[in-house]
Structure 1
Amino acid sequence: MLHYNFHGAQITTNNLIILLHGFISDHSSFDDHIDTLNQHANVLTIDLPGHGDDISANDVTWDFDFIAQQLDEVIRLYASYNIYLHGYSMGGRVALYYALYGNMALTGLILESTSPGIATDSEREERQNVDNARAKVLEIAGLEIFVNDWEKLPLFYTQYDLEKPIRKRIRNMRMNQDPYKLAKALRDYGSGYMPSLWSEITQIDIPVVILAGALDQKFVAIGNKMTNLIPRSKFYEVPHVGHTIHVEDASEFDKIVVGFLNKEEQND
């Protein structure tokens, strides 16, 4: 079973929001949001395979079916709750897959800076090569060199403007990961190894919130495209931020998530 932390709400509520982190992160990604979200819902943070305190066996493939089964085990413990599943980036891809193939019912879905996968076989193969190359860097060069390169990716350039304590906390979280487990995660469920769900997301029949930072134009375009395909979805383009919305504008992220939780509760 995946490692998780449950944070009980400060009010009486049957809502539970599950937060799934991105690559080279862990459950602590959302520490700054727990107090605010707990004023409206119970909160569950999870470590995905190869991250944080996860102890998934190394002799099995951590593909999307495996992760969905592991999420089933955790969510089944909270089956009496109204389950809202949030995923950021890699966690968003997992959340999308679970919405389609998981066995436990979801009340709502929140997708932050993510996609339903790579549409074409050739592009997917190209990304697999990238994932494999990055895995080798982790195994051969080590975590610090990998993190230094990772932080220079254009995807994260907007993090340069964050306050120094926030940047330090993010780097420490990255440096606390296991490079060999991260390498396995890239090879087992990196972007290149996710099946394309573009043709299937039209089947999602629960309320969905899709978030993208205005400075992250690639995912703004993806977010708009997903919104046009998912029937009960709403898109938020968050101004002045990039890929990591929950870090770069924590208050706006909380406002959108809490608004979604409260709205759906009123609709019950």
Structure 2
Amino acid sequence: MTALHADRRGTGPRLALVHGFTQTRRCWGPIAEDLAADHELVLLDAPGHGRSADVALDLVDGGRALADTAGPATFVGYSMGGRFALHAALERPAQVRALVLVGATAGIESADERAQRREDDEARARRIEEIGVDRFLDEWLALPLFAGLSPEAACREERRENTAAGLASSLRLAGTGTQLPSWHRLGELSMPVLVVAGADDEKFLTLGTRLAEAVGGDVEIAAIEGAGHTAHLEQPGRFLAVLRPWLAARGL
């Protein structure tokens, strides 16, 4: 078993939180503060990130490692973390009591588009290795995808814990271009699933709608008003107003 670093806090039903690319376990801000009041939180560093910087795993093995590290829990994953959490649910379903996906996808179906994304991620990996984490974060956080993040919510200082080698490894092994499409497997998910996207994040709202339709069963989708891709950090109050009642209704 490959162990990942995780910080644990709080008591109650267990929630495993899996961050996005260039973030770390410490990038959940007010979400973690609120949920730790009545939950046990397992704040994970994904492969290639934070104190798991030296762990090089693809999405399948990374999903297994996240599930094995956290133990039985409700998994909450954002973007890259959502893709890892989805693989945890597919590979270790007994460990995933419920699944919350924020700004996530089940993969790019077009082989040509996947190949192009791998090329883009390889170029980005080389860029990180060339200029280092600090300068790369300047470029990354300037992308339109993150325009809705306040300076505080961007958790720039926390992201500086990452290493160039770890982030480059993450892109090469667990970037979207490496993700084999799993749309055809979503019907295997028997646990409750909540799909969340920012109302202003048209791409991932469309993907989220498709995810929810493919899962079937106990599944809900929620659009967070006034938020883009990083919905839980852009509008933490509105995100919690969706998440908390959903968890409570299922005894989670």
Q: TM (normalized to structure 1)? A: 0.87
- 2:227 aligned to 221, 241, 256, which one? 241
Q: Deviations over 1:206-236 (max 9, x none)?
A: 1111000011110111111111111121110
Deviation at residue 7 of structure 1 after TM alignment:
1.0
Q: The residue matched to 2:184 in structure 1 has which SS?
A: coil
Instruction: Determine if contact 1:75/1:104 at 8 Å carries over to the other structure.
Output: no
- Distance in 1, matches of 2:162 and 2:105, equals 24
- 2:8 aligned to 6, 9, 15, which one? 6
- Does residue 252 (structure 1) correspond to residue 238 (structure 2)? The answer is yes
- Does residue 225 (structure 1) correspond to residue 220 (structure 2)? The answer is no
Instruction: Determine if contact 1:212/1:238 at 8 Å carries over to the other structure.
Output: yes
Name the counterpart of 1:184. Answer: 169
Instruction: Determine if contact 1:19/1:86 at 8 Å carries over to the other structure.
Output: yes
- Does residue 173 (structure 1) correspond to residue 175 (structure 2)? The answer is no
Q: Deviations over 1:89-141 (max 9, x none)?
A: 00000111111112633221100011111111111111000110000001112
Amino acid at match of 1:84: T
- Distance in 2, matches of 1:124 and 1:55, equals 25
- Distance in 2, matches of 1:182 and 1:106, equals 26
- Does residue 210 (structure 1) correspond to residue 195 (structure 2)? The answer is yes
Name the counterpart of 1:36. Answer: 34
- 1:94 aligned to 65, 84, 91, which one? 84
- 1:153 aligned to 121, 131, 143, which one? 143
- 2:131 aligned to 125, 129, 141, which one? 141
Instruction: Determine if contact 1:20/1:46 at 8 Å carries over to the other structure.
Output: yes
- Distance in 1, matches of 2:159 and 2:66, equals 23
Amino acid at match of 2:91: Y
Name the counterpart of 1:201. Answer: 186
Name the counterpart of 1:63. Answer: 58
- Distance in 2, matches of 1:140 and 1:37, equals 38
- Distance in 2, matches of 1:103 and 1:227, equals 17
Q: The residue matched to 2:83 in structure 1 has which SS?
A: helix
Deviates more, 1:31-40 or 1:138-147: 31-40
- 1:106 aligned to 96, 116, 125, which one? 96
Instruction: Determine if contact 1:40/1:258 at 8 Å carries over to the other structure.
Output: no
Amino acid at match of 1:258: R
- Distance in 2, matches of 1:133 and 1:141, equals 12
Structure 2 stretches lacking a partner, 5+ long: none
RMSD after superposition:
1.7
Instruction: Determine if contact 2:10/2:37 at 8 Å carries over to the other structure.
Output: no
- Distance in 2, matches of 1:29 and 1:181, equals 17
Q: TM (normalized to structure 2)? A: 0.93
Structure 1 stretches lacking a partner, 5+ long: none
Q: The residue matched to 2:142 in structure 1 has which SS?
A: coil
Deviation at residue 54 of structure 1 after TM alignment:
1.2
Deviates more, 1:28-37 or 1:245-254: 28-37
Deviation at residue 244 of structure 1 after TM alignment:
0.7
Name the counterpart of 1:19. Answer: 17
Structure number, greater radius of gyration: 1
